[in-house]
Structure 1
């Protein structure tokens, strides 16, 4: 039986797998029945099958990359502030994201995301 990773290690493994576009490693950081939400809003996905579909669609973007700008830990909750490079229909750009992860038993059980404004052009640190 593998040791249970602490919340910071789980979320870092998730970010590393996302940037490597490694769907199996990414899903391994989530509980099988994990849920993803828009922060304070609708459910985006529940379970590995729905999450796999969402992530694989995103992984098709050649320039996809999440840059961690800050990370905060409060108990089992990890909050990341990230700058995501994306390939939008209009061209290369970025969005700021606030990602809130609840880690239970060494896996992400719940994740909520708030997405900032889309900015077209090469990645740059957000103002402010």
Structure 2
């Protein structure tokens, strides 16, 4: 099962970085649930997930860099550094992503946001 789970999560990450909403949704079960880790429901089903991702895809510098991946049967845990366009400017966010895969689709995902770091402004050439 773990090889299939890895392929699903890698396809999800690749679709995210390509801003491919259809490819991304294809990795999630139609009734999949996304949560804050140990917390509230973020989205249930494609209808609630799609606008959340489309809003992120509007960010010109959006990119998820995989730092590490741990797999145990059908559970995949990714540590990622997400480059984002925050209201304050360009920065990065540490993100722990825990995915449960069944029948070739992500059924549940939990996310824990870590440290945010803002990019340094370019120093003047003067």
Question: TM over 0.5, yes or no?
Answer: yes
Residues 2-81 of structure 1: pairs in structure 2 closer than 5 A: 6-81=4-79
- Gaps in structure 1 of 5+ consecutive residues: 123-128
Q: Is 113-122 or 90-99 further displaced after alignment?
A: 113-122
2-side partners of 1:42 and 1:13: how far apart? Answer: 26
Q: Structure 2 CA distance, aligned partners of 1:38 and 1:93? A: 21
Distance 1:81 1:54 in 2: 20
Q: Secondary structure at the match of 2:114?
A: strand
TM-score by length of structure 1 reads 0.90
Question: For each residue in 1:4-46, what CA deviation from the matched residue of structure 2 results, as whole angstroms up to 9, or x when unmatched?
Answer: x700000000000000000000000000000000000000000
Q: How many residues align?
A: 118
Q: Which runs of 4+ in 1 moved over 3 A?
A: none
In structure 2, what is the Cα distance between the partners aligned to 1:104 and 1:41?
22
Q: What is residue 107 of structure 2 aligned with on the other side?
A: 109
Deviation, 1:60, is 0.5
Q: 1:125 is matched with which residue?
A: none
> Distance in 1 between the 2:102 and 2:49 partners?
18
- Of residues 73, 88, 91, the one that matches 2:89 is 91
Larger Rg: 2
Q: Which residue of 1 aligns with 2:124?
A: none
- 1:126 aligned partner: none
